[in-house]
Amino acid sequence: MVDLDTGRIIHVGDGKGKEALEGFWKRVRRNKVKIEIVTSDLSAAFIASVMENAPAAVHVYDKFHVAKLVNEAVDAVRRNVYAQEADLEKRKIIKGSRWLLLTKDKDIFDDEKKKRLDNILETNTPLFHAYYLREDLDQIWMQDSKEEAERQLAYWCERAWETKLKPFIKVANTLIARRTGILAWYDAPVTNAMLEGINNKIKVMKRRVYGYRDDEYFTLLLLGLHDKTNAIRG
């Protein structure tokens, strides 16, 4: 758990379930802290925990985790198309195309990469639909109002359902079910970017010493990563 204002780690839990946050919520209640904004991934356990312990908080579902779901759907479609394609030439074009389909940095494409991507999209209808659904996902967070964003989200999901592609039907169902938290970005435009940056620092720390055997010592190191004091005492 990270303080969005200061970037300090304020709680380290063990596991990915609700029980990993129990110690944090006890401290929040004991210190009568009012939490106004929370951002998290789409974990059902974390969503339920926030709803139970901070029901009045604006809970924003991290847009980069939403994008990750869509990226995984694109890759699933790619693998399915490759497995079902009988034409050897088309299989050759699709093979190893994951980076072409998922990268957002199109400016680094040379003519050969652009031509290959065009060939993939022109000759594979499922990948064509998957690719442009991914490209259009950002429109959900680029509207002038929350109401317009809700219409854009519904429109995106309708297009996903119409493709009949199972990975995208699953994603669309998830987005509709989680739309309240996705659209909460318009109430509080925050993401998990700060936390992801801290996670990268933690990975570097662990690699330097080949891991930590003492969990309590490791927790203290994390709590002191940005500041020597905890944001919530007790």
pLDDT tens per residue across span 197-224: 677 766 666 666 566 666 666 666 666 6
**% of the chain at pLDDT higher than 90:** 59
Across the chain, mean pLDDT equals 87
CA distance 47 to 26: 17
Compute the radius of gyration of the chain from its Cα atoms: 21
Contact 152, 189 (CB under 8 A): no
pTM over cut 0.85: no
What pLDDT band is residue 15 in, cutting at 50, 70 and 90? confident
- pLDDT at position 227, please? 53
Residues composing the chain = 234
Q: What are phi and psi for residue 110, nearest 5 degrees?
A: -90, 180
Strands, DSSP E only, in 25-91? Answer: 37-40, 58-61
Burial environment of residue 207 by CB neighbours within 10 A (0 to 12, 13 to 18, 19 or more): exposed
DSSP 32: T
pLDDT tens per residue across span 88-140: 888 888 888 899 999 887 777 888 888 889 999 998 999 999 999 999 999 99
- pLDDT at position 179, please? 97
CA distance 93 to 123: 10
- pLDDT at position 149, please? 98
Q: Which of 106-110, 163-167, 175-179 has the lowest mean pLDDT?
A: 106-110
Contact 156, 169 (CB under 8 A): no
